[in-house]
């Protein structure tokens, strides 16, 4: 990525500034715009053109006047920030790696398949300068010749795009992730490459399919999520990637948990078996904690405890070796949260409440979707312990966080606590909480 950053003419330190990233996480785009103009010299008119905002509006936001609250607009701006060199230094969009006529072909296919869409003038502008970001693709008998280094470029881009999931829900990110998946799928079908490069491309495709599947699941489209997870499993197996194949099984288990806990347990167990000896570090911990979750929903307390212990052992066994990016978020805090969730489902509030309270005390509100989800389990555990007022206050806090989040999961999870709290409507704290719900 060093060459890409140098091509923008923007100092590298600007692209990595912590204050820009923190402002993005808060959706404080005015702060982002002001910093980019100050440090990178990008005019408000250019920012507005890329983000679909009038220059006067960009300037007002940069001065602290107003805010962006529509998640449709947040998604549009976040997508615009993926232009090379803009704002947070994410990698170029996929078509910028191709000669102009080939990138037009890929864009058309992505749009036809429901992938990402862009304004034509913006795309043509990007395609015109694509040679500055070329990574070695060339035409051979009318097909793209894919160099051995290209899968690594795609993998890095996939990792960078994954960061959007930290601040946006699946309803916002699915369009982007599905477009990336569609482009790689076409490249595998139409490209010319060695066997080794082909396996690497299949590995990237498996990862992208899981990313798009997760966004579909988060947006409430379970049928599309299943299709993408099955595609991911097949691609991972063909690529000889047991960890990715195991993760596809784990995702499928997650989808089946509520409908058929027994099948979910079988799938989650298979995920660990398929991964085998590779199931160490953060990736192994992720597979084992999802096995614990399936057992918890099925009511298997002993198996849940064993799976949680296996997850901790896998995390420790990874040592200091970095795991794959798709599991990099799994750490001791994540394992604690999963333990709290499991003990909540098993109605063990004396175990669940202290764990969830401790971890959530320092959990950043910028990750609103995830924090709201975790608070919903804390609210349930409070109810299991007979702490009605504490449960209502926790639900109220979670409701504040879910406002505008493009994810169905927090609301679905909170509905359980709301149904249980409806029996206590005359309790003052519960009354106030339901007034907020009705409003």
Distance in angstroms (rounded) separating the CA atoms of residues 287 and 271: 7
Distance in angstroms (rounded) separating the CA atoms of residues 204 and 232: 9
In the predicted model, is pLDDT for residue 74 greater than 60? yes
Look up the pTM and report it.
0.71
In the predicted model, is pLDDT for residue 17 greater than 70? no
Distance in angstroms (rounded) separating the CA atoms of residues 329 and 223: 26
Higher-confidence residue of 236 and 89: namely 236
Q: What is the mean pLDDT of the chain?
A: 80
In the numeric block, the tokens 């795609």 are attached to 154
The three-state secondary structure class of 192 is strand
Distance in angstroms (rounded) separating the CA atoms of residues 7 and 28: 27
In the predicted model, is pLDDT for residue 228 greater than 50? yes
Higher-confidence residue of 51 and 70: namely 51
In the numeric block, the tokens 């005359």 are attached to 426
CB atoms under 10 Å from CB of 433, counted, come to: 26
Backbone torsions φ then ψ of 396, nearest 5 degrees: -60, -40
| Paired tokens of 326 | 């798709």
Task: Tell me the pLDDT tens digit for each residue of 283-335.
Answer: 999 999 999 999 999 999 999 999 999 999 999 999 888 889 999 999 999 99
CB 123 within 8 A of CB 98: no
pLDDT at site 127: 30
| Neighbour-count burial for 381-391, b at 16+ CB within 10 Å, e otherwise | bbbbbebbebb
pLDDT at site 45: 81
> H/E element holding 140?
strand 138-140
Q: How confident is the model at residue 65 (pLDDT cuts 50, 70, 90)?
A: confident
Higher-confidence residue of 126 and 413: namely 413
In the predicted model, is pLDDT for residue 88 greater than 80? no
Distance in angstroms (rounded) separating the CA atoms of residues 379 and 387: 9
In the numeric block, the tokens 């097949």 are attached to 234
- Closest to 164 in 3D by CA, of 149, 152, 175, 154: 175
In the predicted model, is pLDDT for residue 100 greater than 90? no
- Closest to 229 in 3D by CA, of 252, 208, 257: 252
Distance in angstroms (rounded) separating the CA atoms of residues 183 and 181: 6
Higher-confidence residue of 422 and 92: namely 422
In the predicted model, is pLDDT for residue 135 greater than 50? no
In the predicted model, is pLDDT for residue 249 greater than 90? yes
- Closest to 413 in 3D by CA, of 402, 422, 428: 402
Paired strand residues for 144 = 139
Terminal Cα-to-Cα distance of the chain (whole angstroms): 48
In the predicted model, is pLDDT for residue 75 greater than 50? yes
In the predicted model, is pLDDT for residue 35 greater than 90? no
Cα Dmax for the chain: 75
Give the distance from CA 168 to its chain's centroid: 8
The three-state secondary structure class of 246 is helix
How many helices (H) and strands (E) are present in the chain, helices listed first?
23, 2
Q: How confident is the model at residue 71 (pLDDT cuts 50, 70, 90)?
A: low
Distance in angstroms (rounded) separating the CA atoms of residues 318 and 370: 25
CB atoms under 10 Å from CB of 243, counted, come to: 24
pLDDT at site 310: 97
Task: Average the pLDDT over 182-192 and give the result.
Answer: 89
CB atoms under 10 Å from CB of 273, counted, come to: 12
| Paired tokens of 387 | 């702490």
| Paired tokens of 96 | 């910028």
**Rounded (10°) CA dihedral 92, 98, 103, 107:** -40
């Amino acid at each position: 990525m060093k060459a890409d950053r140098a091509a923008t003419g923007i100092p590298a330190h600007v692209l990595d500034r912590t204050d820009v990233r923190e402002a993005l996480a808060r959706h404080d785009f005015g702060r982002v715009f002001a910093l980019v103009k100050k440090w990178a010299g990008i005019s408000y008119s250019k920012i507005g053109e890329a983000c679909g905002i009038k220059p006067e509006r960009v300037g007002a936001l940069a001065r602290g006047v107003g805010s962006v609250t529509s998640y449709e607009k947040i998604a549009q701006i976040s997508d615009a920030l993926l232009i090379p060199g803009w704002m947070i230094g994410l990698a170029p969009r996929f078509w910028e790696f191709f000669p102009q006529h080939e990138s037009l072909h890929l864009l058309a296919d992505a749009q036809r398949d429901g992938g990402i869409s862009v304004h034509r003038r913006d795309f043509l502008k990007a395609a015109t300068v694509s040679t500055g970001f070329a990574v070695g693709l060339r035409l051979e008998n009318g097909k793209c010749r894919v160099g051995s280094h290209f899968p690594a470029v795609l993998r890095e881009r996939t990792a960078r795009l994954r960061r959007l999931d930290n601040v946006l829900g699946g309803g916002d990110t699915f369009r982007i992730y599905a477009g990336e998946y569609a482009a790689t799928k076409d490249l595998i079908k139409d490209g010319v490459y060695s066997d080794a490069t082909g396996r690497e491309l299949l590995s990237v495709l498996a990862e992208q399919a899981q990313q798009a599947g997760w966004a579909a699941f988060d947006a409430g489209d379970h049928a599309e999520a299943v299709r993408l997870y099955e595609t991911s499993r097949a691609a991972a197996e063909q690529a000889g990637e047991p960890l990715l194949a195991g993760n596809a099984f784990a995702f499928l288990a997650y989808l089946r948990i509520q409908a058929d806990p027994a099948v979910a347990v079988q799938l989650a167990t298979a995920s660990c078996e398929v991964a085998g000896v590779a199931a160490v570090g953060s990736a192994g911990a992720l597979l084992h904690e999802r096995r614990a979750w399936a057992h918890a929903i099925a009511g298997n307390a002993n198996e849940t405890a064993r799976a949680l212990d296996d997850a901790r052992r896998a995390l420790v066994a990874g040592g200091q070796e970095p795991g794959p990016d798709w599991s990099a978020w799994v750490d001791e805090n994540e394992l604690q949260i999963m333990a709290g969730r499991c003990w909540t489902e098993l109605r063990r509030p004396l175990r669940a409440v202290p764990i969830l309270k401790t971890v959530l005390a320092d959990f950043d509100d910028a990750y609103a979707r995830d924090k709201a989800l975790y608070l919903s389990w804390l609210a349930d555990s409070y109810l299991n312990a007979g702490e009605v007022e504490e449960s209502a206050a926790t639900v109220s806090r979670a409701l504040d966080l879910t406002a505008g989040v493009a994810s169905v999961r927090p609301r679905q999870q909170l509905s359980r606590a709301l149904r249980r709290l409806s029996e206590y409507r005359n309790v003052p704290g519960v009354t106030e909480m339901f007034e907020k719900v009705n409003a």
